[in-house]
Amino acid sequence: MIDAKIKTVAELSDIVERLKTQGKQVVFTNGCFDLLHVGHIRYLEQARQLGGCLIVAVNSDRSAKSLQKGADRPLVGERDRAQLVAALASVDYVTIFDEPTPLALIETLLPAVLVKGGDWRPEQIVGREAVEAHGGRVVSVPLVEGYSTTALVARLRGVQG
């Protein structure tokens, strides 16, 4: 069931501790995932290959709006976006975070692997210091060319993107 994959931070904290005692590497990534597309799917599949459990943190509507991707963004509500991401076979757990960045969440979970898309240089990745300080690693996964929610929204609006 999709909803069973969507967890609170407290639930994830317990799950991550259990997985760590079992020797499983937890992989963490985050994003808005507004208008899920093939680029997102491939990115999450690559992230999943880096460990034994993939946790995806989805920006809440308020958090996504703070990123200033457009006045009407996100187009899809947070609960729907979380369910879409949870429906993917590569994703083990999803949570929704309301802060501007996932730093507090990353510091709570301390994943073995922190992943972001190739448009982020490692030194720009929020939570890098915390993860590396606890023996984890940070991975920048190459973007899939030709896929962008912003470009897709512009194309849907009839604007060249």
Listed by start position, the domains of the chain span 2-156
Q: What is the pTM of this model?
A: 0.89
- Is domain 2-156 given the CATH code 3.40.50.620 in the classification? yes
What is the rounded distance in angstroms from the CA atom of residue 45 to the CA atom of residue 29? 11
Tell me: the pLDDT tens digits for 44-103?
999 999 999 999 999 999 998 887 666 777 889 999 999 999 999 999 999 999 999 999
| AA letter at 148 | S
Helix, strand, coil tally for the chain in percent (to 5): 40, 20, 40
pLDDT, average across residues 29-33: 94
Span 11-23, mean pLDDT?
A: 97
Check residue 118 and give its pLDDT: 80
The first and second tokens of residue 135, run together, are: 């023996």
Instruction: Give the phi and the psi of residue 100 in degrees, each rounded to 5.
Output: -60, -30
Q: Which residues partner with 93 through β-bridges?
A: 55
pLDDT of 96-150, one tens digit each? Answer: 999 999 999 999 999 999 999 888 788 889 999 999 999 999 999 887 665 565 6
